A and B are shown apart, each in its own frame.
Chain A
Amino acid sequence: MIAAADPMVPNLHRIQKVTQETSDTFTLALAPSCGRKCPAFRPGQFNMLYVFGVGEVPISISGDPATPETLVHTTRAVGAVTAAMKKMRPGDQLGVRGPYGTEWPVAEAHDRDVVIVAGGIGLAPLRPALYSLLNHRERYGRVVLLYGTRSPEDILYRTEIQKWRSQFDLDVHVTVDRATGKWRGNVGVVTSLIPKAPFDPYHATAFVCGPEIMMRYTILALLKRGVEKDSIHLSMERNMKCAVGFCGHCQIGPLFVCRDGPVFGYPRLEKLLDKREL
């Protein structure tokens, strides 16, 4: 008997394009080489990416949900699998299974302001949400992107961010922890942008992704500004081996990040986020 559709078996994809974003971060554009079509995905979902002979890791999808035929993943080389991935070139093959997990609730944000707060590589899982908002720009109020990185050299999607900055229907504010070179922009943590960012906190939905410490302080700043708890959404990261609720690695208290997340409404995480070593 052959497993017709065991959830652990990937589909093969071929790399179409590699974009070096920063010294350690790169974007892969993939297309199926297995004859199957790329399934549609919702902003915030992730795939399990497999590198032959090395292993498999969960990586968020960072492309445009309106064009799912090309699968886009932005990855930072931090472990064995992602380091091997960084060396891959167009034509090389990867295994892909997914998409998995919950989405940024863009529909809930209709007729409201949307504030996106990203820290570092946390911008990658937020980019599909931003594309989705811009694809249907008329449905939303003000759209604000607040983005913090370690240094100007760590800014992702640089050209795209410059384009977004020049748009009249999107407010983009970037800050860095350490200014280097010719940087003339904001210096400081991303939370420092929240008090004066141009959105109406009482009618705003917030999407937040970054290191956990950054998300905790971002939530405090958003709440202080007057954003409702129910209107704050976060994306979490945990060790993951299966992405389908079997391996047990990704649990945060009673939650499985793979199937209950990675995107959570803040009320579900409120009691868990401050617990050390949960």
Chain B
Amino acid sequence: MWTIQPRGLGDLLEALRNRGYRVVGPVVRDGAICYEDLGSIEDLALAWLDEQEPGNYRLTGSGNGDLFSYSPGAHTWKKFLHKPSVTLWRATKDQKGLHLKEEPTAEGKVALFGARPCELAAIAIQDRVFLEGPFVDSFYAAARKEMFVVALNCSHPSKSCFCVSMKTGPRAATGFDLCLTEIHPNGEAELVVEVGSETGGLILADLQRREATEKDLEAVRKTLEEAEQRVERSLDTEGIQGLFDRSFESPQWDDVARRCLGCANCTMVCPTCFCTTVVESSDLAGAEATRTRIWDSCFTKDFTYIHGGSVRPSGYSRYRQWITHKLANWIEQFGTSGCVGCGRCITWCPVGIDITAEVEALRARERTGSGSGGSSHEGNA
């Protein structure tokens, strides 16, 4: 373990750029923390404080000397790995017939600067989806292979966070090349660095650093313990597959459907949601067509459309699908929950639907005996 000064962050950024990495990280844009290119250290969002709660997000100056006193915003790292829009291939048509042109899979090496522990857990989950099944997504694999991760342990969880109950934070255990923890041993910010890979060690060797003292490590422990205690929300995952199995006809689905706008925000901000559709576009002459894969959401009616109609025409069935898949079916499909407790779906839901509260409501209805059979839904949205 090593300790660097805040100005070392600029050196770290330069070291990564010198090694050919495109460095992306948190910047302030449109009043929110966004993940964008870091051209220089000036772009990095430092000393900002965020307020998050169901349906609410505000970014303000921190004023307390802390560098990283915010938690993730609406962006997720999946925008660099499982991109919102990917050209899969193109086809052209001439007198000889059709010709296919495959697309390049990667633009180069990317370094994620400031990935939170819950976000590393999310990347590990998407790895299972795109790399560990019978088929491999070559676009994801190419982006993933050349990725460098500077992780950032969480010292300021937001009110939407529930990583502790999902066992993903506030401390990163794995999945990084370097991992930073901000401490304030003498009132001034310093960063304790843990090395997670050989490349990480090589890059750190370029930086001005000192060996972390026992006092530094104690400060790290204390910071992360305090952060853990500040995580207010929790999601009870005990027997959750059975809960969803028994709750299929729960009146709670009608209840949440009355609030849910079906806007798909939760799926767009979720770091693990992976669903896509493919759109076909062609030029006006009809000589060239492009196949583009874009993020899709199970909250749209089209998502399940087959001739004759949608399999899930009603809002309640689409919310039920999303949460059941995320928290229960995912376990059967990929051996892990699809939720990392980052709280984005809670913050960015325009009506403040809280996934942890919905699970609690399902449990409460079971306890009080209003868990099933009482539903009046007729299937029309």
Contacts and interface: CB of A to CB of B under 8 A. Distances in A.
B is bound to A: yes
B129 to A, nearest CB: 7
Given A53-B286, A95-B91, A249 B303 contact: yes
Given A1-B104, A79-B307, A247 B138 contact: no
A56 interface: yes
A9 B86 CA distance: 13
A3 B102 contact: yes
Contact of B100 (A9, A253, A275, A276): A9
A94 B102 CA distance: 16
B106 A1 contact: yes
Contacts of A90: none
A78 B135 CA distance: 29
B98 A247 contact: no
Contact of A244 (B105, B134, B305, B379): B134
B100 A95 contact: yes
A249 B317 contact: no
Interface in B161-220: none
A244 B136 CA distance: 9
Contact of A249 (B91, B142, B275): B275
Interface residues of B, number: 56
Interface string A225-257: 000000000000111011011111101011010
Given A4-B138, A238-B304, A239-B311, A254 B274 contact: no
A131 B161 CA distance: 57
B102 A247 contact: no
A8 B276 contact: no
Interface in A1-54: 1-10, 12, 14, 33, 52-54
Nearest to A11: B100
Give the most central of A4, A56, A239: most B CB within 10 Å: A239
B42 interface: no
A107 interface: no
A85 to B, nearest CB: 14
Interface string A83-123: 00000000001010000000000000000000000000000
Contacts of A237: 306
Given A239-B306, A277-B312, A53 B289 contact: yes
Interface stretch (B14-22, B325-333, B360-368): B325-333
A165 interface: no
Interface in B330-346: 332-333
A2 B104 contact: yes
Nearest to B317: A277
Nearest to B105: A3
Nearest to B325: A251
Nearest to A240: B306
Interface residues of A, number: 43
Give the most central of B133, B274, B306: most A CB within 10 Å: B306
A277 B105 contact: no
A8 B89 contact: yes
A81 B286 CA distance: 16
Contacts of B226: none
A217 to B, nearest CB: 17
A278 B333 CA distance: 16
Contacts of B159: none
A93 B105 contact: no
A259 interface: yes
Contacts of B88: 6, 8-9
A267 interface: no
Nearest to A245: B133
Interface stretch (B26-34, B55-63, B290-298): B290-298
B357 to A, nearest CB: 23
A247 B313 contact: no
A55 interface: yes
Nearest to B324: A253
A5 B139 CA distance: 11
B91 to A, nearest CB: 6
B142 to A, nearest CB: 6
A93 B135 contact: no
Contacts of A8: 88-89, 278, 291, 293
A121 B180 CA distance: 60
Contacts of A79: 307
B169 to A, nearest CB: 26
Contacts of B133: 244-245, 259
Interface in B266-322: 274-278, 280, 282, 286, 289, 291, 293, 296, 298, 303-307, 311-314, 316-317, 320-321
A52 B102 contact: no
A78 B306 CA distance: 9
A247 B379 CA distance: 25
A238 B379 CA distance: 18
B277 A249 contact: yes
Contacts of B303: 239, 249
Contact of A246 (B135, B286, B291, B333): B135
A59 to B, nearest CB: 12
Given A3-B105, A3-B138, A242 B248 contact: no
Interface string A122-163: 000000000000000000000000000000000000000000
Closest 8 CB pairs between A and B?
A248-B275, A277-B317, A78-B307, A244-B135, A254-B332, A3-B138, A254-B329, A6-B138
Given A3-B105, A247-B275, A277-B379, 13 more contacts: A3-B104, A3-B138, A6-B89, A6-B102, A7-B135, A52-B98, A79-B307, A95-B100, A241-B278, A242-B276, A245-B134, A245-B135, A256-B333
28 contacts: A1-B104, A6-B102, A6-B138, A7-B135, A7-B138, A8-B89, A9-B88, A9-B100, A12-B98, A14-B97, A56-B280, A95-B100, A237-B306, A238-B311, A241-B276, A242-B278, A244-B133, A247-B277, A247-B278, A248-B275, A248-B298, A249-B303, A254-B332, A256-B333, A276-B379, A277-B316, A278-B311, A278-B321
